[in-house]
Amino acid sequence: MTAPDAFATATSAAALGKLARQLAGFLTAARADTRAPYAARALHRAFDTLAARLPPREPLACRAGCNYCCHQVVSARAAEIFLLARTVRALPAAEATALAGRVADAAAATAAMDVAERHRRNVPCPLLVDGRCAVYADRPLACRAFASHDVEACRRAFAHEPATIPVPRTAMALRAFVTTAAEAAARSARVPDDQYELIGGLALALADPQAEARWQAGEDVLAPAAARRLLPR
């Protein structure tokens, strides 16, 4: 099967429907404490599996410890943010407190910034600790999908020099595919969902122990962090 055929098969309407039903099943599971983490991890697994099956034609420049892209504005789905809140809370107490504090501080510092301002300041993700992602296994889909074929282009972009980062197109298309499935699943499960800015959304989820339960009851508790609010008015 040629690469385009493999892509078309992997992202067919039937595959989309199957993934959406699977995600909706997790979002409506009897055990409320499994809904967000299982749905988010299934979303990540679907992306990782497809990305491994359909690798980019050119080698990636991404390496452990390289984190230029962790200074970009990141968005995530609601289930992913509640998964991250659980991941942070499950860390040893001192680590969890420190990381939650970093998130709260970053949310306060960036609350009034739009996307352009965030880029100008190269605001780091507060989950980036000692140069590495502290929640790597549960990092959002946006972080999984974003990669580069040219680290020098990433460096130039970070230095605010003219640069076009060559990203793997297949990964971007796969991200769009699984995102469409996630949106359909959230509609079917009747839980609010959107693209939420990661720092603000996670700060909201960590600040209120009842946030996840309120979300499951249909309240869009992450709405103040909707990614679209960062765009210039």
Question: Can residue 27 be called a binding residue for ligand SF4 (CB under 6 A)?
Answer: no
Q: How far is the CB of 144 from ligand SF4 (least distance, A)?
A: 8
Report the C-alpha gap between 86 and 193 in whole angstroms.
Answer: 18
Q: Which of 204, 206, 209 is nearest to 221 (CA)?
A: 204
From residue 111, how far is each of 45, 145, 197, 225, 229 by CA, in Å?
32, 26, 11, 9, 10
Q: How far is the CB of 198 from ligand SF4 (least distance, A)?
A: 7
Q: Which of 231, 226, 232 is nearest to 204 (CA)?
A: 226
Question: Can residue 157 be called a binding residue for ligand SF4 (CB under 6 A)?
Answer: no
Q: How far is the CB of 140 from ligand SF4 (least distance, A)?
A: 6
Provide long-range contacts, Cβ within 8 A and 24+ apart, for 105-113: 106/199, 106/203, 107/199, 107/200, 107/202, 107/203, 107/204, 108/203, 110/199, 110/200, 111/200, 113/230
Question: Can residue 127 be called a binding residue for ligand SF4 (CB under 6 A)?
Answer: yes
Question: Can residue 139 be called a binding residue for ligand SF4 (CB under 6 A)?
Answer: yes
Candidate list 143, 167, 191, 230; residue touching ligand SF4; CB under 6 A: 143
Question: Can residue 184 be called a binding residue for ligand SF4 (CB under 6 A)?
Answer: no
Question: Can residue 100 be called a binding residue for ligand SF4 (CB under 6 A)?
Answer: no
Question: Can residue 66 be called a binding residue for ligand SF4 (CB under 6 A)?
Answer: no
Question: Can residue 175 be called a binding residue for ligand SF4 (CB under 6 A)?
Answer: no
Decide whether 145 or 189 has the Cβ nearer to ligand SF4: 145
Q: Which two tokens stand for residue 144?
A: 């999984």
Candidate list 133, 151, 163, 226; residue touching ligand SF4; CB under 6 A: 133
Residues at the contact surface with ligand SF4, assessed by CB under 6 A: 70, 74, 125, 127-128, 133, 135, 139, 143
